[in-house]
Amino acid sequence: MTEKKENSLQNSEIKILKTSNSAISQSSSPLKSSSLISPSSSTSLSSVSSKILKMLLKYNPFDPICDWSRKVMQDLGILDIYDEFIYWNVGRANFIQFFRTFWGYDIRGKENFPEHGGALVIANHQSEFDPFLVGSAVHRKVQWLSKAENFEIPIFRSIIKPFGTIPLRRGQSDEKALAKVRSVLEGGGCVGMFPEGTRSPDGKLGPFHKGAARLCLETGVPYVPCAIFGAYRVFPKHVNVTGIRWNKGYKISVVIGNPVYIDPSLESNFENAEMVKDAMRHDIILLKAGLMNKSRVLRTRKDIAPVEQIPDLNSLVREEIQMDRIGNSISEKERMQLEANSDNLSIS
């Protein structure tokens, strides 16, 4: 009888243990599910932080204050004086020091830049720093074309306005921008452009658009080729400011080439725009190869600098689709379309 009681007690204890284990396992399952929720909650927190930051940027007080102050100075007739002061004393002076401090910024060929008259400054395009690199390398004010979207970026839009930056709508013929560019060039000023139309991801020179070439033909101003080195390593394409490589042994330098003048008798047509475009690209290839282009008057294709014999040319340029420059292999309709598209000034 005593043995039966003991067995029944043991059985009841086993049942109690099983029940408690089941309860424990059930109570632990919410813990497991909560641990799975944790990453998504952190993601949502990051998303909220990003939205808050965007809202703070969108409604920042800096832009309205700058817009108001620029309007007041324009009404008083002193806006141009203010912009000149910012360009030379705040912008250029500090940019040079900034680039030298972090990347040993070196400038060569400063003596080549023309002292007077309008000039179109062209350069290879490697990073967002490029306008400031080339602009601070020369002793004259250069007004750069910039995509219209940059004038919608909070804070940044207020920074670039005092530098005379010209907004341009990409992928279309922007007559307002073209008129402004022509006005600056014909008034004896300097305008900067990147004929590639976009930043190079690897530092190699890409194909050129004809917008810069057509401007030289229409206004009669020379072009000044410039070569930028090392900027794509410091501030690569598709990288925001958080991805800038600060002072990690990278070097940035700019070489300023000799001005090239356009024969005033040349008409502004498709063939001549192709010729000037090729001359521009070849001159920058020479600079990238460590050579110096010649100052000359461009009259025919014979005046284009030869680059075929440059060692390791493939390491300097990217392949581009070749087309018949004489135009014998394209239809009249295609020629007219190319003529219309050549007016578009593409930039990054």
Residues 6+ apart with CB under 8 A from 65: none
Which runs of E-coded beta strand occur in 158-317?
166-168, 190-193, 223-229, 253-256, 261-262, 297-298
Q: How many CB atoms lie within 10 A of CB 306?
A: 9
* Domain extents in the chain: 62-341
Question: Per-residue confidence of the chain (348 residues) as pLDDT tens digits?
Answer: 444 445 554 555 444 444 445 544 444 444 444 444 455 665 676 778 778 878 888 889 999 999 999 999 999 999 999 999 999 998 998 999 999 999 999 999 999 999 999 999 999 999 989 999 999 999 999 999 988 888 888 888 898 999 999 998 876 777 888 899 999 999 999 999 999 988 998 889 999 999 999 999 999 999 999 999 999 999 988 888 788 998 778 999 999 999 999 999 999 999 999 999 999 999 999 999 999 999 999 999 999 999 988 988 888 887 653 333 333 334 455 445 544 444 445 443
Q: What per-residue confidence (pLDDT) applies to 248?
A: 79
311-320 contacts at long range (C-beta below 8 A, 24 or more positions apart): 313/285, 313/289, 315/204, 316/204, 316/205, 316/285, 316/288, 316/289, 317/204, 317/205, 317/206, 317/285, 318/200, 318/202, 318/204, 318/205, 318/206, 318/207, 320/206, 320/207
Place of tokens 């042994």: 249
Q: What per-residue confidence (pLDDT) applies to 116?
A: 94
DSSP state of 305: P
Residues 6+ apart with CB under 8 A from 164: 83, 87, 141, 143
138, 111 Cβ separation under 8 angstroms: no
Which runs of E-coded beta strand occur in the chain?
106-108, 119-123, 142-147, 166-168, 190-193, 223-229, 253-256, 261-262, 297-298
Q: How many CB atoms lie within 10 A of CB 188?
A: 12
CA 77 and chain centroid, separation = 32
Q: What per-residue confidence (pLDDT) applies to 56?
A: 85
Taking all residues of the chain, what is their mean pLDDT, rounded to a whole number? 83
Q: What per-residue confidence (pLDDT) applies to 247?
A: 78
87, 131 Cβ separation under 8 angstroms: no
C-alpha gyration radius of the chain: 31
**Position 309: which residue type?**
Q
Extract the tokens encoding 220: 């009669």
Q: What per-residue confidence (pLDDT) applies to 148?
A: 86
Q: What per-residue confidence (pLDDT) applies to 147?
A: 85
In CATH, what is the architecture of 62-341? 3-Layer(aba) Sandwich (3.40)
